[in-house]
Amino acid sequence: MAYFATVFRLWYKTEIKKMKLIQTINELRAELDVLRREGKTIGLVPTMGALHAGHASLVKRAVAENDVVVVSDFVNPTQFNDKNDLLKYPRTLDADCKLLEACGAAFVFAPSVEEIYPEPDTRQFSYAPLDTVMEGKYRPGHFNGVCQIVSKLFMYVQPDKAYFGEKDYQQIAVIRAMVADLKLPVNICPCPVIREESGLARSSRNTLLTEDERHIAANIYRVLKNSLPYAERHSVEETTQNVIEQINGIDGLEVEYYQIVDGNTLQPIANWTDADSVVGCITVYCGHRPIRLIDHIRYKG
């Protein structure tokens, strides 16, 4: 019976309900207040737009697990520490709405920057050491901006569940810390990485790659996968260096960092036995512009 109920819910949302585009906080709250009073469960999928199959998988899962799904489509300026990166980030709202309606989302929340930040957000979030390593080290202020926008979305939507892709592995850990810190009644739902046929992790930034660069970028995951059997016979340090050397040896790729860390604390480990969960996290620049790509591989746990 549970299976048929899920199928009906997906059919009803996709075929009968029309998705609504909302651009103001007041309208969003008004719509959701009515549904909440009716006892509807609400799922949230925060995105920065330029949606792809990875985002679609998050939305479809949210639709299957909630009565109503809100997808935010907002390029958040406070999490960019590079103004050029913010300017070139792809924006494809019309195409995004078509994809989301096909997935069964009820609402797309696509506000302006002025709507979200009528005045500067001066709040400071600090969850060291989770947010001071890897992305936190190389993109100072990034996670503070992530916490600013995600906390705002949680306040506006008040979701029962929120869905995030595991490609942004460190981000999920930081958001969980923020939820615990602020005592927010929302369940964080991580979802598996969705990859292209080549193995390249799907990302909005992939649209900025040329066809040749996409082929080159596929080597990132190939090297990570090959490091799994290598790690069985070599130390953490040797495995780390091997991954970096192999990727840097490919024309068009340059590693910014590769760290093998405790999958829970995100702290670097020296030995494979130092943690029950072990993950390798990588950031690579691809091409001549270049485009910054992230990925990870799980060694253990």
Catalytic residues: 55
Encode 119-166 in three state secondary structure.
Answer: CCCCCCCCCCCCCCCCHHHHCCCHHHHHHHHHHHHHHHHCCCEEEEEC
Which amino acid is located at 31 in the chain?
E
Angle at CA of residue 182, ends 181 and 183, nearest 5°? 95
Instruction: Look at residues 273, 270, 268, 271 and name the one whose alpha carbon lies nearest to residue 301.
Output: 273
Q: Per the structure block, which two tokens stand in for 157?
A: 């939507």
Token pair 């591989």 in the structure block, residue: 297
Instruction: Look at residues 143, 140, 55, 63 and name the one whose alpha carbon lies nearest to residue 104.
Output: 63
Strand 253-262: give its sheet, edge to edge.
253-262, 278-286, 291-300
Q: Helix, strand or coil for residue 206?
A: helix
Sign for the pseudo-dihedral over CA of 181, 55, 156, 105: negative
C-alpha span between 260 and 270 (Å, rounded): 9
Q: Per the structure block, which two tokens stand in for 285?
A: 């620049």
Q: Are 263 and 298 in contact (CB under 8 A)?
A: yes
